[in-house]
Amino acid sequence: MQDMMNSIMGGSALMIGISILITVVVLFFVFRMVSGVMRGAKQTQQLLATGVPAQARILQIGETGTYINNNPAVDILMEVMPQGRPPYQVQTRMVVSLIRLPSIQPGNIVPVKYDPNDPTKVALAI
């Protein structure tokens, strides 16, 4: 009887340990995703405050499968047309409000701001 109780207790401890390990792993990945979104939001806010204004043509928009507060994170391929510089293509990922989603469809021209020191950093200014 004592052996059976020890076996049950050992199995319960193992299950608890596995549950804790799974929880830690899930929390790690959630934290990484949230910190990445927060870093991206901070970078976008900085670009909108200090970036150089330009126009961009939306070439392609794609789903990532990620939603933040029911708003999709999307990959956007655009052609940035800075004044006094040749146009160039850049791809960016951002969370877009469902209300703003129709304005960033392929073919649309949208206002953007870009970092003149790193033109691959572009934020939609809509």
What residue type is assigned to position 51 of the chain? G
Residue 65 · residue 77 · CB < 8 Å: no
Burial of 44 (0-12, 13-18, 19+ CB in 10 A): buried
Tokens 């990532």 belong to which residue?
A: 64
Confidence (pLDDT) at 77? 97
Confidence (pLDDT) at 2? 58
The domain locations on the chain are 32-124
pTM: 0.69
In this prediction, residue 112 has a pLDDT band, given cuts at 50, 70 and 90, of very high
pLDDT per residue as tens digits for the range 34-82: 665 556 677 888 899 999 999 999 999 999 988 888 999 899 999 999 9
CA distance 51 to 60: 23
